[in-house]
Amino acid sequence: MPHIPIYQVDAFTTELFHGNPAAVCHLEAWLPTDTLQQIAAENFLPETAFFIPTAQSGHYELRWFTPEIEMDLCGHATLAAAHVLFNHLGWDMHQLTFHTQSGPLIVSKNKDLLTLNFPSRPATAASLPPEILKGMGVYPMEVLKARDYILVYHDEEIVRNLRPDKAILDQVNLDPGGIIATAKGKEVDFVSRFFTPQASIFEDPVTGSAHCSLIPFWSAQLDKKEMVALQVSARTGKLYCVDAGDRVLIGGHCKTYLEGNIFVP
């Protein structure tokens, strides 16, 4: 029976059991989309990344799946895929490129720090659907929207202490987006949490793609191009952020949790 190498990696952390776990599957050619979705559902992690090599050295095609849907952009699983290539599959240069639905994504390596080069997604002012306000329970001082709704709060402790009502928020269909709660940080530049209504994993531990919108917002608010961010979920994760105009740089560390094989008929 054919086997597929699989790795489970904790992304945006230097410690196991922290950050955001992702499965990474190294394929030689694409399997049917339904099979990829079934593998992601079986893994039941926030994201499963699949990549295949291209004819060009250091270039790979990359796709991301939650247990329910294929995503157009995912940060932590991209970081995890790069970690696997750099640390387990022998890629010994300092840069690689993933070709994705969101265009080419470059990942660079500096010692054990990996940095994503992602598209910037600036948010604009938006009105807040009443279901989101009711479900979040605390009115934000500002509301914006890009792919995701961004709810800006006065204080880090408000973000940490949010207890959203999933049953209420599940009435809102935001696929493939979510709800970001954010505030200025006390020991870092800014903090955030990320919630995905109607998803089996309601709170994403660390969300790289959300920082495509958080970075330009906080760069303007703080008048800084380089920032350190903390996603204050139960697992927590640290991100090293740079506003580079129409691109954002999102840096982080990874730890490998397991390595093995899966068997698909």
**Could you give the 3-state DSSP secondary structure of residue 173?**
coil
**Could you give the 3-state DSSP secondary structure of residue 144?**
strand
Residue pair 153/159 in contact (Cβ under 8 Å)? The answer is yes
Burial of 134 (0-12, 13-18, 19+ CB in 10 A): middle
Catalytic status, residue 42: no
Q: Could you give the angle at the alpha carbon of 117 between the alpha carbons of 19 and 22, nearest 5°? A: 30
Beta-bridge mates of residue 252: 114
Q: What is the secondary structure of 95-109 as a DSSP string? A: EEEEEETTEEEEEEE
Residue pair 63/50 in contact (Cβ under 8 Å)? The answer is yes
Strands 237-244 and 124-125: unpaired
CA 13 to chain centre: 13
Which is catalytic among the residues 15, 47, 142, 156? 47
Question: How far is the first Cα of the chain from the last one, in angstroms, to the nearest whole number?
Answer: 6
> Where in the sequence numbering do the catalytic residues fall?
47
